């Protein structure tokens, strides 16, 4: 199975800050990488697909980059409504696997 390692596991930042989360795959997954946002008590929501494509309706402050084994998710200017847990997910190989999540809090 492909292991997805996210860092950090938790993060505290101020409104307006630039926030970056990284995700590393245990093997080359090309660009088969998605990012999801999960707010407390809610289902995950797709934000970024194919490593860098913004899902329709998602604010442009969210972005993704990377290919191969190393990927980055960025919020350019943190907003209060961005408080959530963020997961990366690979779909290059079955089984589909997720990172352990990054819990984002407001400082």
Partner 1 sequence: EVQLVESGGGLVQPGGSLRLSCVVSGFTFSSYSMDWVRQAPGKGLEWVSYISSSSSTIYYADSVKGRFTISRDNAKNSLYLQMNSLRDEDTAVYYCARDYGTVVGVFDPWGQGTLVTVSS
Which C-beta is closer to partner 1: that of 28 or that of 77? 28
Q: How far, CA to CA in Å, does 49 sit from each of 10, 41, 65?
A: 22, 23, 10
Residue 96 contacts partner 1 per CB under 8 A: yes
Running DSSP on this structure, what letter comes out for residue 5? Answer: E
Count residues binding partner 1 (CB under 8 A).
Answer: 22
Residue nearer to partner 1 on the CB measure, 69 or 100: 100
In the chain, what is the greatest distance between 2 CA atoms, to the nearest angstrom? 38
User: Cβ of residue 32: shortest distance to partner 1, in angstroms?
Assistant: 7
In angstroms, what is the minimal distance from the CB of 81 to partner 1?
18
User: Which of 35, 36, 62, 71 forms a contact with partner 1 (CB under 8 A)?
Assistant: 36
Q: What is the three-class DSSP state of 80?
A: helix
Would you say 61 and 76 are in contact if contact means Cβ atoms under 8 Å apart?
yes
Is 46 a binder of partner 1 (CB under 8 A)? yes
Which phi and psi (to 5°) does residue 54 adopt?
-80, 125
Residues found near partner 1 in the complex (CB under 8 A): 32, 34, 36, 42-46, 49, 55, 87, 89-91, 94-101
């Amino acid at each position: 199975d492909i292991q997805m390692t996210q860092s950090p596991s938790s993060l505290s930042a101020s409104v307006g800050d630039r926030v970056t989360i990284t995700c590393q795959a245990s093997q080359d997954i090309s660009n088969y990488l998605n990012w999801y946002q999960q707010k407390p008590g809610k289902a995950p929501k797709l934000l970024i697909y194919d490593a860098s494509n913004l899902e329709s309706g998602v604010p442009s402050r969210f972005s993704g980059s990377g290919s191969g084994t190393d990927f980055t998710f960025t919020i350019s200017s943190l907003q209060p409504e961005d408080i959530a847990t963020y997961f990366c997910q690979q779909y290059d190989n079955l089984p589909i696997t997720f990172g352990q999540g990054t819990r984002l809090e407001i400082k």
